Structure 1
Amino acid sequence: MAPSPEKSPGKAANNPPATRKAPAPIPAIAETSFKTKKLVWIVGSGFLIFVALGVCFLMLCYFKRRPGNKSYKKHNMNAYERSLEKRTCSDSPFDAPNDEEKGKSDDEAPDELKVHVKRIYSSSECNNLYELNNTGWGSKLPPLQPAPPHQLPIIPGENLIINQAISTKSSERQIITNSIKVYSVASLQQYTNSFSHDNYIGEGTLGPVYKAELPDGKFLAVRKLNATACMGQNHEQFLQLASSISKIQHANIVKLMGYCAEYSQRLLVYEYCSSGTLHDSLHTDDKFQIKLSWDNRIQVSLGAARALEYLHEHCQPPIVHRNFRSANILLNDKLEVRVSDCGLGSLLSSGSVSQLSGRHLIANGYSAPEFEYGSYIMQSDVFSFGVVMLELLTGRKSYDSSRPLGEQFLVRWAVPQLHDIDALSSMVDPSLNGTYPKKSLSRFADIISSCIQHEPEFRPAMSEIVQDLLRMM
């Protein structure tokens, strides 16, 4: 029988209230699953750590074995040296080690590879070449000394290439000086006896010409450019003119030997031709002058034609002579032609010199019809060449004020008679005494007629004239 609440008050106070429930116990299955997962994580982590340690150990062993592989190092070094033995710059002052040194270095046991790096500069084939030179085994590597600035080794025998875009005036002078001989005023005064009258050769459009005798007995011709010719031309322009003339190289053109540019003087020094000018040979009564036969006249015409052909068709840019006349055709002791005043067109076409030379050509009968309108072209040279051939044919001057009015200008007098065989024979130079072939005379006249055509486009090129004259030889 249950006791009454009034009888056991202490028990009633100690017992929990009837509404609180005790926590439920954890099931055995859930506890087992948790322990299994924890064990799996521990085992997996340990395995990964073991694998990582193994990989590290293998890599450590690999790198420890690799530096000790002497055959591997030797093989790669030999292959690298063989690739360097192929030289890419000729005449290098740095030579590779010879075979004996290579043999010695292979027999020794290397601890460290010592390589010297040398920087070689070469402007002809390569700009930067690094040459590795094996210096032997067993010695310690000396410290590399830095090269001093701007002291690159110079390879002997190489050409200096100058960038024209950045070349200075001094370098331009040096180039010209190296290509042409430079004379001083004092030396030329000595060679010409102070430009005495006894050494005077003649007067040209640009100034007088004097004969100069060198200490070794050789002769030169010195042209003094007058103030009018040099007007408006500075020193650098004169040097450039001398340089351009020196590049004109032909067997039938007078060669420029040097120049002088001191004390405001401008002089050009040429080779000397001992037999004077064609004008003197044809129009001087001096008994010492060479008398030209018919064959000589054809030969002179051919030489002069070849000179103009070279100027017109082989020079780049083409050169117009602008002052072609018999006084500018020089002869040596073998009667070989040397045409003078080539390359001076820039002086002849400038300012007052152009007016002077133009009046001179017109007055002496060498000027082409278009020159009266201010035009002078390559075909104008062809016209002047035809006038020189007329001088060779007739022995007359291009202009002779001593003759009757209708015969003073050679071209005007000769043109109507060139195609008349009877009149042509009467035109021939009397000094030939009729010693010429009739057929050759007719061909010679045909060439003259084609050269002095009134319209420039109807005149032949100088190469055609050369071929026509060759067929007459």
Structure 2
Amino acid sequence: MSVYNTTFVDSQLSKKTSIFGLHLGVVIGIVVGAVIVLILFLISLCITASRRRSGGKGKTRRLGNLSGGCETTPVVSKEIQEIVHDSAAEHRPIIPQAEIQIDMGKIEHRVVFSDKGASSGESRATSGADTGSFGGSGSLPEVSHLGWGRWYTLRELEAASNGLSDENVIGEGGYGIVYYGVLPDNTRLAIKNLLNNRGQAEKEFKVEVEAIGRVRHKNLVRLLGYCVEGAYRMLVYEYVENGNLDQWLHGDVGEVSPLTWEIRMGIIIGTAKGLAYLHEGLEPKVVHRDIKTSNILLDRQWNAKLSDFGLAKLLNSERSYVTTRVMGTFGYVAPEYACTGMLNEKSDIYSFGILIMEIITGRSPVDYSRPPGEVNLVDWLKMMVSDRKSEEVIDPKLPEKPASKVLKRVILVALRCVDPDAQKRPKMGHVIHMLESEDLLSRGDVCL
């Protein structure tokens, strides 16, 4: 009987159907498979919906914790993020961030921050918002207002600088405006308001905090703190009274410069010591990348203080160079860096050599108002040295000329720093030794 039934079933399943002439067994198999796939799909949808509901509840709880802790001192995370409670925020209309403009100082220097490319977890900056954070991956250095620097509020800095008025502007650059300020305790400040040139404000803020936030050296301008509030990004430095070296070398100082030879040598050696600390006293080392006279500040005793680390790069000891976009100031940039983008401390040393030549001669690195053979400072100085006219390169505004041996020693150091072969340039520690050495010319006097 069982054999008969089996034979009957097989004969029925082997019968052809009207569906594309397929056997009945094949049709039944297709239907069963489709039902199984449909059931699995429905189960998947249910699981996904359940996860979304539970995730939303968790996110609501996290946001509630943030708002509940915002009435105290701002918390500084690795993103240097400030969150301040604003009870009126929920009644304020939502404004697209790309449309927000915040005036800071001069009307032509409006800061505009855009949310393009921002992730959903990043804070938004609105015209009346009190929330500010870095965009990007959150890879900022960890800093705390209880540690190396102070967290300044926007209200404090506005009060200190007369509302960021034009009268308080003491410097302007491509990435920011610097205001003079005085706190109630008579502490004098230099307040650098960073401009958002396609995100450069965020980059410069991060670099300065990371490079010199915890650094203390008498020949480096001290970063006292910062302000992150809404779209504002401000860096607060110690105020250096005597302006910058560029003003004293190329400004209207009269027929006789107040920069004596002794003062100029002090500036050269002080700058060298600051650079030596960046290159050889830190790990990772700091390559400044923008050594020039306008970034050398002077105090009342003419001590040099290297400033403006917005273009600096950090270089670990295991790396001999870093490849980066060429940045710097025309006339100071090392030729190999300009050609290849390969950056290391030797690039700073080349710029320092140009700086020495500028301090000695009172000439700019590139001056198109001069005759063709004198436009480029390096070429002109080399020509004068080869023609045995070293003593004729001195700044005519110098009150008294230095001794010939001393002048030749400093010129020799400058020429070694601008050697076309970067590997032959000395390290900054060796530069200091050469500047302070009395017998250096025993090896180099022949070429001078």
TM over 0.5: yes
Distance in 2, matches of 1:252 and 1:412, equals 30
Distance in 2, matches of 1:330 and 1:467, equals 23
Residue of structure 2 aligned with 1:424, choices 381, 385, 390: 390
Question: Once the two structures are superposed, what CA deviation does each residue of 1:260-293 show, in whole Å capped at 9, x if it has no partner?
Answer: 1112111110011111111111111145996111
Question: Once the two structures are superposed, what CA deviation does each residue of 1:12-44 show, in whole Å capped at 9, x if it has no partner?
Answer: xxxxxxxxxxxxxxxxxxxxxxxxxxxxxxxxx
Give yes or no for contact 1:203–1:209 (8 Å, CA) kept in 2.
yes
Q: Please, what TM-score do these two structures have when normalized by structure 1?
A: 0.57
Q: Which amino acid aligns with 2:196?
A: A
Q: Does 1:340 align with 2:331?
A: no
Residue of structure 1 aligned with 2:189, choices 202, 209, 220: 220
Residue of structure 2 aligned with 1:264, choices 231, 236, 257: 231
Deviation at 1:454, TM superposition (A): 0.7
Question: Once the two structures are superposed, what CA deviation does each residue of 1:132-160 show, in whole Å capped at 9, x if it has no partner?
Answer: xxxxxxxxxxxxxxxxxxxxxxxxxxxxx
Give yes or no for contact 1:185–1:260 (8 Å, CA) kept in 2.
yes
468 and 232 in structure 1: CA distance in 2 versus 1, 3 angstrom threshold = closer
449 and 182 in structure 1: CA distance in 2 versus 1, 3 angstrom threshold = same
331 and 169 in structure 1: CA distance in 2 versus 1, 3 angstrom threshold = closer
Deviation at 1:371, TM superposition (A): 2.2
SS of corresponding position for 1:457:
helix
Q: Where in structure 2 are the equivalents of 1:275-290 lying within 5 Å?
A: 275-287=242-254
227 and 175 in structure 1: CA distance in 2 versus 1, 3 angstrom threshold = closer
Distance in 1, matches of 2:141 and 2:286, equals 24
Distance in 1, matches of 2:396 and 2:145, equals 50
Give yes or no for contact 1:206–1:229 (8 Å, CA) kept in 2.
no
> 1:184 matched to which residue of 2?
153
196 and 289 in structure 1: CA distance in 2 versus 1, 3 angstrom threshold = farther
Give yes or no for contact 1:418–1:446 (8 Å, CA) kept in 2.
no
Deviation at 1:190, TM superposition (A): 1.5
> 1:194 matched to which residue of 2?
163
Distance in 1, matches of 2:221 and 2:238, equals 6
Distance in 2, matches of 1:167 and 1:292, equals 44
Q: Which amino acid aligns with 2:281?
A: H
Deviation at 1:441, TM superposition (A): 0.6
- Higher deviation after alignment, 412-421 or 185-194: 412-421
Deviation at 1:201, TM superposition (A): 1.3
SS of corresponding position for 1:202:
strand
Distance in 2, matches of 1:410 and 1:174, equals 43
> 2:431 matched to which residue of 1?
465
Q: Which amino acid aligns with 1:375?
A: M
Residue of structure 2 aligned with 1:317, choices 267, 270, 284: 284
For this pair of structures, how many residues does the alignment match?
295
Structure exhibiting the larger radius of gyration computed from Cα positions: 1
Question: Once the two structures are superposed, what CA deviation does each residue of 1:99-147 show, in whole Å capped at 9, x if it has no partner?
Answer: xxxxxxxxxxxxxxxxxxxxxxxxxxxxxxxxxxxxxxxxxxxxxxxxx
Distance in 2, matches of 1:170 and 1:233, equals 12
Identity %: 33
Deviation at 1:244, TM superposition (A): 4.5
Q: Which amino acid aligns with 1:441?
A: L
Question: Once the two structures are superposed, what CA deviation does each residue of 1:394-443 show, in whole Å capped at 9, x if it has no partner?
Answer: 0111222322233222122222223443x211111111255210110110
Distance in 1, matches of 2:412 and 2:338, equals 25
The answer to which structure has the higher helix fraction is 1
Q: Which amino acid aligns with 2:374?
A: E
Deviation at 1:343, TM superposition (A): 6.5
SS of corresponding position for 1:261:
strand
Identify unmatched segments of 5+ residues in structure 1.
1-165, 348-353
Q: Which amino acid aligns with 1:384?
A: S
Deviation at 1:448, TM superposition (A): 0.7
Q: Does 1:293 align with 2:260?
A: yes
Give yes or no for contact 1:252–1:303 (8 Å, CA) kept in 2.
yes
Q: Does 1:448 align with 2:448?
A: no
Residue of structure 2 aligned with 1:376, choices 321, 343, 353: 343
- Higher deviation after alignment, 390-399 or 320-329: 390-399
Q: Where in structure 2 are the equivalents of 1:43-442 lying within 5 Å?
A: 176-179=144-147, 180-228=149-197, 230-231=199-200, 233=202, 238=205, 242=209, 244-287=211-254, 291-342=258-309, 344-346=311-313, 358=327, 361-362=329-330, 365-373=331-339, 374-421=341-388, 423-442=389-408
Q: Which amino acid aligns with 2:394?
A: V
Q: Which amino acid aligns with 2:436?
A: L
Deviation at 1:167, TM superposition (A): 9.1
Distance in 1, matches of 2:261 and 2:424, equals 27
SS of corresponding position for 2:197:
helix
Q: Which amino acid aligns with 1:282?
A: L
Deviation at 1:446, TM superposition (A): 0.5
Identify unmatched segments of 5+ residues in structure 2.
1-76, 83-139, 315-323, 440-448
Distance in 2, matches of 1:277 and 1:438, equals 28
Deviation at 1:246, TM superposition (A): 1.5
Cα RMSD between the aligned structures? 3.1
185 and 212 in structure 1: CA distance in 2 versus 1, 3 angstrom threshold = same
Deviation at 1:311, TM superposition (A): 0.4
